[in-house]
């Protein structure tokens, strides 16, 4: 499928039976790094990118390269975590649109730097509000003061363009999760990924990468409603 973010995952011919459990443990450093340093850095640069594109119509090349790296790092981490690949992802955060290879999954992005659609960018200011959503959830769980209603309204309005893609991503995640569970059982007992289950299991990784490429303002082309 043609899209400015291209995700290719190579299905291993054989995979060691221990990997479905072992890789869930081995991936922990990447998972923690992704959800701490990388998420914080991506949130800050996303705010900068939003204002830059909104006021100038251009996406700074350095920010685009880092956002492509962020999308790639997510895809590599999640792919290894569920044993879609047996190649350990490198701790490589060098800003680059082109995938350097060597991780069993390739994520190359063709960012659009100039002539951007400012109207669609206006309604993609979502990353900072993801943190507000987390704060709101913690408030409900631990009895903190709840966020005012206007915050949620602003979140929905400024993230409105992303809502259909996010819903599709959620559906794809459920389908992929079931396929991943069945596929990992197959790997444990046979050492092979069934082709059909692998396609479904890899589907959410592709959907997530394309949605984040769009969310991080790398393209104005809406991500397709497809897992391929």
9-34 tens-digit pLDDT:
989 889 999 999 999 999 999 999 99
Does a structural domain hold residue 44?
Answer: yes
Does a structural domain hold residue 149?
Answer: no
Query: pLDDT by residue (tens digit) across 64-80?
Result: 999 999 999 999 999 99
Does a structural domain hold residue 131?
Answer: no
Does a structural domain hold residue 134?
Answer: no
pLDDT, residue 137, reads 62
Does a structural domain hold residue 145?
Answer: no
Count of the separate structural domains present in the chain: 1
From 45, 48, 55, 100, select the one nearest 73 (Cα to Cα): 100
Non-local (6+) Cβ contacts of 54 within 8 A are 118, 121, 122
| Residues spanned by the domain of 88 | 5-124+159-215
Q: What's the pTM?
A: 0.89
d(CA 117, CA 122): 9
Non-local (6+) Cβ contacts of 137 within 8 A are none
Does a structural domain hold residue 223?
Answer: no
Does a structural domain hold residue 148?
Answer: no
Does a structural domain hold residue 133?
Answer: no
Positions of the chain with pLDDT lower than 70, given as ranges: 1, 127-152
């Amino acid at each position: 499928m043609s899209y400015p973010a291209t995700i290719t995952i190579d299905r291993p011919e054989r995979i060691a039976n221990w990997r479905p459990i072992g890789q869930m443990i081995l991936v922990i450093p990447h998972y923690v790094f992704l959800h701490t340093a990388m998420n914080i850095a991506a949130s800050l640069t996303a705010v900068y990118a939003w204002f830059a594109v909104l006021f100038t119509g251009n996406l700074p090349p350095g920010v685009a390269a880092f956002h492509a790296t962020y999308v790639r790092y997510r895809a590599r981490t999640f792919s290894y975590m569920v044993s879609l690949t047996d190649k350990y992802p490198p701790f490589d955060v060098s800003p680059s649109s082109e995938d350097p290879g060597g991780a069993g999954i390739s994520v190359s992005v063709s960012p659009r730097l100039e002539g951007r659609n400012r109207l669609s960018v206006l309604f993609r200011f979502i990353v900072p509000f993801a943190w507000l959503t987390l704060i709101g959830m913690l408030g409900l769980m631990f009895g903190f003061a709840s966020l005012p209603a206007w915050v949620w309204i602003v979140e929905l309005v400024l993230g409105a363009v992303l809502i259909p893609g996010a819903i599709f991503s959620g559906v794809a995640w459920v389908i992929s999760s079931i396929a991943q569970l069945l596929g990992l059982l197959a790997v444990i007992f046979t050492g092979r990924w069934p082709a059909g289950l692998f396609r479904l299991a890899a589907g959410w990784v592709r959907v997530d990468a394309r949605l984040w490429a769009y969310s991080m303002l790398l393209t104005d082309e809406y991500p397709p409603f497809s897992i391929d």
